[in-house]
Amino acid sequence: MSARDDSASGRVPRRLRLMLTAATVFFVLLLIVPRLIGAYVNWLWFGEVGYRGVWFTVLLTKLAMFAVIAVCLGGAMFLAMWLAYRSRSVFFPTARTDDPLSEYRRVVGRWPLRFGLGIAAGFGLICGLIGHSRWETVQLFLHGGSFGEQDPEFGIDIGFFVFDLPFYRLILSWLFVAVFFAFLACLATHYLFGGLRPAGRSIGLSHAARVQLAVLVGLFFVFKACAYWLDRYALLSSHRREPTFAGAGYTDINAVLPARFILLAIALICAAAVFSAVVIRDLRVPAMAAVLLLLSSIVAGGIWPLAVEQFSVRPNAADRESAYIERNIAATRQAYGIGSEMVDYRPYPGVGSRPPPEVAADATTIANLRLLDPHVLSRTFTQQQQLKNFYSFPENLDLDRYRIDGQLRDYVVAARELTPSALSGNQSHWVNRHTVYTHGDGFVAAPANRVNAAVREASGDSSASNSGYPIYAVSDIASQRAGHQVIPVQQPRIYFGEVIAQADPDYAIVGGGTEPREYDTDTTQYTYTGAGGVPIGNWFNRLAFAATYTERNILFATAIGPDSKIIFHRDPSERVELVAPWLTADNNPYPAVVDGRIVWIVDAYTAIDGYPYAARSSLEALARDDGRPLRNPAEISYVRNSVKATVDAYDGTVTLYQVDPDDPVLSAWMRAFPGTVEPAETISDDLRAHFRYPEDLFVIQREMLARYHVDDPREFFTNNAFWSVPSDPTVDANPQQPPFYVLLGDPDTAAPSFRLTSAMVGFKREFLSAYISVHSDPENYGKFSILQLPTDTLTQGPQQIQNSMISDTRVASERTLLERSNRIQYGNLLTLPIADGGVLYVEPLFTERISTAPNGSTFPQLARVLASYREPGTGGVRVGYAPTLAEALDQVFGPATGNLATPPGGSAAAPPPPGRAAVPPGEPQSSTAPPLMDEATIARLEAELEAARAALDRLEQQLDDILRPNK
């Protein structure tokens, strides 16, 4: 009976209503509960790291933006619909039987408030969810300040373009959205209830419909006028002329800018004409106004600037654009920190005038010349220092420097981290993976300028020689107990790192048990005692994390005690970006021992777009030479490395340090988040000594310096004086050679200076044009030194030198032998200023035995060193090729220069082997030097090598059969 009554009355049956209500509640909970749990977990984590204020500020800003946008846009739509409904005709004419709107009109007319609020609320929620992501724009507007620099066109402080203009444009864009959708809602409501009626070829409008629609269209034109006003300022950040130059050009200033004024005036006239429709029934006036604006936009905004560009600018581009190119050069140098106050240009002949032993700086450079390539030796570190299958090192190692025994030396460094993906068998059980195998062990460093011994075997076979390997300085639990750490570390356990964070999910549950359970050594277990980690002992937190990771074991594991903690977000870069979401963290943190503790040092950038006249760059496009992804790929026109962050490898403590007090963008963020960034005075000397100039920023600045070292705008326009970044001669996949960290002798003091360096070649050529280096030493940090080579002489660049070296008779003959049983990999080709005006190229050659065994494991060793130098006078290129750097330098420069090099193992320099005497200076080697071995010797060695390899393969197969488990 009730069902029939419901059906007869048009109501939804009660049972169906209950099912719909339950389904709605279920889906709402499905959407809301995970977000509430996520918010609670974030609240716990930010409290653990001490940055809960950041979380609150960001959350409140997002909620405020969501509420304001949702209420304003939803309210505008509701107001438009409600006014249209209230002003509908009371006596609506009887609808035709075929009227498709009659049923909708009846339903909406029955519950008008519900429909109006529902549609407006849904629209407002969608807009709020979209708009709250722009919280950075609001915070910069509220806390932005002055740059102390004015733009060259309007004379306004740069802070207006960076902090204020984006906010005004954001507000204006939402006003356009509100007016547009309010117009559609008003139009639809009037159409539904008869305020708008098609009448043949015309459209009938009620008075209320005409008034309301005219007001909305008039507001649109008012906002359009405001947009034209703001577009005047946006012209200065135009990039339509790139790659020629950035910013407003002659056409923009002399044609587009006046057109913006004209269009602004026309838009206001159109707005007045449309508003006149409120009292004038004739709609032709606002229609003509709209057509006028459209035609004016085409003529003044398109045709006129195009005509000026084609007939005035293009035939005289160098002269017309000269003043604007000057603006672009000055702004780009300022925006990227490569102005005259930071860059020192020096002429450099490219040809040496004195032998290296007579130049004090060269003695330092050669003694510290790096032979170990951190991008090659990861597997060597892993094989020789792994200790356990679940430990490993990053794919790319890092370079840093330490002062040992009073001498500054650069080291290849890495942290021995836990590798969750390497856990196998019962090791990968949930209990073991998350409560037993929880941390890594130790800091490993190797001097970058020497190996344990030189490889003398012609084959370079790692099975025949235990030479060519790094000399390790290890600081771990074993060395700590033995008391002989070269680099003392108080706490060698590593709970946070790059490799650990690659696990999915990357959490560990530590502490709180009745007895130690974490793996430490084969004979000892450990219990975490650090301050890091979120308490998980209570049932509420266990439920929250069990839901977060969808893991029921968190609820029932007996390993979790009342004092247990859960450690997550273990990637150092991720932790920095979480506690400082306004920063872009470098994706390549590096470990350092600072004040006895292992910490990860993370470079962090403030980057924005909209700097007037500055060239636009992209962190994604420029800052990754090795193909790794970057967190923030947005285009930028201003960047600073204003913050250095540290993440403690044991307890995860994140500390942000201000290193650039003159960055106005960082100052704005520090006002928005007070107390989050420590002042520069709190940086310890030990920590500051490990700061290095970041590669990402250097790559961007290098790309800018390739063009913006040119002062003359006309020369800039022709591109003749531009530089290019050389292609990587050792890795075909790299379109650009990466920069290299090296220890160079200071030209004035001869003291070692840790620098990031790069060779530059001519524009789309391969000849060396400049040598860029930037200091990482505390006293000169961030200062660039650019050696400019003359344009009337040709000095071979990296690609040409690589070809010269590998085509040398000695190199080619021995390479043929090496490749029979080894994989050859060339290390970093270093370019070094030397000999008071010359350029020395040094490249290590690594070999790795080819193994045919199924489980064979081989790794690179340093086998040979190549060196090349342009000979003064003749201009010929001399090539050195030997097992040691000293011998290679003696072949290039003659006796005595090799004595400056640090010998393998740190002992006295070994004499050259028979048949490898140094070639006297002045005698070219590339074509006349005899091969290292005659054909008979090569044939004999090949036969011996084949026999040894066959025997080794048989032995490996036998071992594999013994170790293979019985099936």
Q: Are 769 and 788 in contact (CB under 8 A)?
A: yes
Give the pLDDT score at 956.
60
Distances in Å between the Cα of 580 and the Cα atoms of 58, 575, 660, 667, 893 are 10, 8, 16, 14, 52
Instruction: Say if residue 95's pLDDT is above 60.
Output: no
CB atoms within 10 A of CB 906: 10
Instruction: Say if residue 917's pLDDT is above 60.
Output: no
Q: What confidence tier does 44 reach under pLDDT thresholds 50, 70, 90?
A: very high
- List 392's β-bridge partners, or say none: 417
Q: What confidence tier does 624 reach under pLDDT thresholds 50, 70, 90?
A: very low
Give the pLDDT score at 849.
86
d(CA 469, CA 452): 6
Give the pLDDT score at 491.
94
- b/e burial code for range 257-283 (CB count within 10 A of at least 16 → b): bebbebbbebbbbbbebbbebeeeeee
Give the pLDDT score at 951.
62
Q: Is 507 helix (H, G, I), strand (E, B) or coil?
A: coil
- Dihedrals phi, psi of 951, to nearest 5 degrees: -65, -40
> What digits encode the pLDDT tens for the residues 119-155?
899 899 999 999 999 999 999 999 999 999 999 999 9
- Taking all residues of the chain, what is their mean pLDDT, rounded to a whole number? 86
d(CA 917, CA 28): 82
> What digits encode the pLDDT tens for the residues 667-683?
999 999 999 999 999 99
Give the pLDDT score at 936.
47
d(CA 952, CA 906): 32
Give the pLDDT score at 868.
95
Instruction: Say if residue 405's pLDDT is above 90.
Output: no
Distances in Å between the Cα of 231 and the Cα atoms of 161, 252, 256 are 11, 11, 10
Q: Are 501 and 576 in contact (CB under 8 A)?
A: no
d(CA 164, CA 901): 57
Helices 52-86, 14-49: crossing angle, 10 deg rounding:
150
Q: Are 365 and 744 in contact (CB under 8 A)?
A: yes
Give the pLDDT score at 884.
94
Q: Are 509 and 527 in contact (CB under 8 A)?
A: no
Q: Which of 400, 418, 398 is nearest to 409 (CA)?
A: 400
Give the pLDDT score at 916.
33
Based on the number of CB atoms within 10 Å of its own CB, is 682 exposed (0-12), middle (13-18) or buried (19 or more)? exposed
Share of the chain above pLDDT 90, in %: 62
> What digits encode the pLDDT tens for the residues 842-881?
999 999 988 765 555 688 999 999 999 988 877 788 999 9
Give the pLDDT score at 941.
53
Give the pLDDT score at 933.
43
Q: What confidence tier does 28 reach under pLDDT thresholds 50, 70, 90?
A: confident
Instruction: Say if residue 963's pLDDT is above 60.
Output: no
Q: Are 775 and 756 in contact (CB under 8 A)?
A: no
d(CA 480, CA 497): 21
Instruction: Say if residue 323's pLDDT is above 70.
Output: yes
- Dihedrals phi, psi of 925, to nearest 5 degrees: -110, -25
Residue 255 DSSP class: I
Give the pLDDT score at 961.
61
Instruction: Say if residue 517's pLDDT is above 80.
Output: yes
Give the pLDDT score at 109.
67
Tokens 């170790």 belong to: 963
Average pLDDT over residues 785-812: 91
CB atoms within 10 A of CB 307: 12
d(CA 238, CA 887): 56
Q: Which of 506, 352, 368 is nearest to 437 (CA)?
A: 506
Q: Is 88 left (phi over 0), alpha (psi -120 to 50) or beta?
A: beta
Q: What is the DSSP string of 67-114?
A: HHHHHHHHHHHHHHHHHHHHTS-SSPPPPPTT-TTHHHHHHHHHSHHH
Largest CA distance in the chain: 115
Instruction: Say if residue 714's pLDDT is above 90.
Output: yes
Q: Is 792 helix (H, G, I), strand (E, B) or coil?
A: coil
d(CA 916, CA 588): 42
d(CA 859, CA 427): 26
Q: What confidence tier does 239 reach under pLDDT thresholds 50, 70, 90?
A: confident
- List 343's β-bridge partners, or say none: 784
Give the pLDDT score at 930.
34
Q: Where are the beta strands (DSSP E) in 157-195?
A: none
Q: Is 659 helix (H, G, I), strand (E, B) or coil?
A: coil
**Which pTM does this prediction carry?**
0.88
> What digits encode the pLDDT tens for the residues 158-210?
999 999 999 999 999 999 999 999 999 998 888 877 767 766 555 667 778 88
Distance, C-alpha 776 to centroid of its chain: 20
| First vs last C-alpha separation in the chain | 73
Q: Between residues 350 and 927, which one has the greater pLDDT?
A: 350
- b/e burial code for range 393-411 (CB count within 10 A of at least 16 → b): bbebbbbbbbeeeeebbbb
Q: What is the DSSP string of 554-594?
A: HHH-TT--TT-EEE----HHHHHHHH-TTSEE-S--EEEEE
Helices 165-192, 207-234: crossing angle, 10 deg rounding:
160
Give the pLDDT score at 190.
81
Q: What confidence tier does 117 reach under pLDDT thresholds 50, 70, 90?
A: confident
Computed from CA positions of residues 14, 15, 20, 21, in that sequence, does the dihedral angle turn out positive or negative?
positive
Distance, C-alpha 563 to centroid of its chain: 38
Give the count of alpha carbons within 13 A of 697, CB side only.
28
Contacts 24+ apart (CB under 8 A), 825-828: 825/376, 825/730, 825/860, 826/729, 826/730, 826/802, 827/371, 827/372, 827/373, 827/376, 827/730, 827/862, 828/370, 828/373, 828/375, 828/730, 828/738, 828/740
> What digits encode the pLDDT tens for the residues 72-88?
999 999 999 988 888 77
Instruction: Say if residue 573's pLDDT is above 60.
Output: yes
Q: What confidence tier does 469 reach under pLDDT thresholds 50, 70, 90?
A: very high
Share of the chain above pLDDT 70, in %: 86
